[in-house]
Amino acid sequence: MAGVTIKDVAERAGLSVATVSRALSGRGHVSETARTLSAQAARDLGYVASYNAASLASGRSKNVGLVVPWVNRWFFSTIIETASTVLAAAGYDVTLYYLGGGKRERGLVFSDFLLRKRVDGLLAVALELDDTERVDLLRVGTPVVCIGGVIPGVSTVSVDDFATARLATDHLVALGHRRIAHIGWEGAGDFALAATREDGYARALRDAGLEVVPELVALGDFTMQEGYSTAKRLLSDPRLRPTAISAASDELAIGAITAARDLGLDVPRDVSVVGIDGHDLGGVFGLTTVDQHVREQATQAADLLLRQLDDDSVDREPVHTELGLDLVIRSSTMAPRPDGPRTR
């Protein structure tokens, strides 16, 4: 039916225009009956809400910005998929801003694109907003939620990264391992993620009365390929070879498992491997991991942003949520061989 207006839908549903508007937009409180009647009337009449008109009337674009430093790593792709699903179910489009790991792209996004009010709210992933970025966004009234760590004045969802690495390494210590390597990320990164996880590994060793051996700390990139090449170097020399590897991510850990197997070593009889994440492929590789509940992080962050978008008050009280961790024990870890590391 051509030229159908929201007034026609309201008459069909037997409701006021204001009630139908709230029901179809998903904003504001309406009864479930009113929501059902409005949706049915809109379907019967072939009515589709004009987002341009709604945007002009409400000052809202029904669009949320999702900013990530990478898209080709499991953690970030999982956050994108999960958060986008939650936001879409609430009637929001999602604009993805991929920074490519570069300062120039980050400057353009935060100093230009996001300040033009192209989006109603912002979900930033593993990005530690500096004072300028944070103040500029809050000044223009953009609701912001970050995943990854605590930021003053901004709502956040995170896990304790120090505790993740400590828990992973504690598991290896408890099994009886004394020569434990760490594969991590070279570079500070936002929220000092790499250094924090390395510190968690080191604390677990020291608390057990074990020495941190510099030759057993290998840093590179957060990828399976890097985990493979780094582990291969560590495991190729029988004099250097650890009995266990505590990796800073599951992707690094999966690379390490593959390297060990390619060298003819048995995982876990010759070398135990533990990771951090809760990667979907963890079960396939039998990987023991510290599950940081990535999908739950994304869901809680998206829900928190939606609540802020429904809150029209200028001064929104920031909320910080820290999720718990779970050690998931699989077949990649066991007590060390009683006869010591096997040599080839």
The parts of the chain modelled with pLDDT lower than 70 are 1-2, 26-28, 48-60, 101, 115-117, 188, 312-315, 340-344
Query: In terms of domains, do 243 and 288 share one?
Result: yes
In a domain, 298, yes or no: yes
Query: In terms of domains, do 178 and 272 share one?
Result: yes
Listing DSSP states for 50-89 in one string gives: -HHHHHHHHS--SEEEEEES-SSSHHHHHHHHHHHHHHHH
Res 152: pLDDT: 87
Query: In terms of domains, do 99 and 199 share one?
Result: no
In a domain, 93, yes or no: yes
Query: In terms of domains, do 146 and 167 share one?
Result: no
Query: In terms of domains, do 301 and 264 share one?
Result: no
Query: In terms of domains, do 183 and 273 share one?
Result: yes
133 closest CA partner among 108, 164, 156: 108
Q: Per residue in 100-150, pLDDT tens?
A: 757 777 877 877 777 666 789 999 999 999 888 888 887 778 899 999 999
Q: How far apart are CA 19 and CA 336, in angstroms?
A: 67
Res 55: pLDDT: 46
Q: Which amino acid is at 199?
A: D
Res 192: pLDDT: 92
Token pair recorded at residue 279: 């990667």
Q: How far apart are CA 121 and CA 305, in angstroms?
A: 7
In a domain, 309, yes or no: yes
Res 75: pLDDT: 95
In a domain, 242, yes or no: yes
Res 50: pLDDT: 54
In a domain, 57, yes or no: no
CATH of the domain at 174: 3.40.50.2300
Neighbours of 285 (CB within 10 A): 21
Res 57: pLDDT: 44
What total number of domains does the chain contain?
3
Q: Per residue in 48-74, pLDDT tens?
A: 665 444 443 445 678 999 999 989 899
Parent domain of 125: 63-158+294-324
Residue 137 to residues 70, 101, 302, 343: CA-CA distances in angstroms? Answer: 22, 21, 18, 57
Query: In terms of domains, do 101 and 208 share one?
Result: no
Q: How far apart are CA 305 and CA 261, in angstroms?
A: 44
Res 207: pLDDT: 98
What's the N-to-C CA distance of the chain in angstroms? 78
Query: In terms of domains, do 243 and 179 share one?
Result: yes
In a domain, 337, yes or no: no
